[in-house]
Amino acid sequence: MAERLHVMIAGRVQGVGFRYSTVRQAERLGLTGWVRNCPNGCVEAEFEGPRAELEAMLAWCHHGPSLALVDSVDARWETGDAKYTQFTVR
């Protein structure tokens, strides 16, 4: 059964390729959902897929791409309903 993971990532996460690296990592893991920059400087994302792949994605979010400096990741787990067909940048 699919689950959903919603994250807010704070730190130096904008202007460092975080969104596009997130897309590549999510696609590697077979996840669907979206990622976007927020006006407050955070990156927000929602992922759907199997629990093991979501846990791997969450671990990746704690460091992100090489130029990022992640200060914190706020994660919320939910029941997935397969509302996404791919992973996109919003």
The residues annotated as belonging to the active site are: 19, 37
Return the amino acid letter for 10: A
Are 5 and 58 in contact, with CB atoms under 8 Å apart? Answer: yes
**Containing H/E element for 48?**
strand 43-49
Bridge pairing between strands 3-12 and 87-89: unpaired
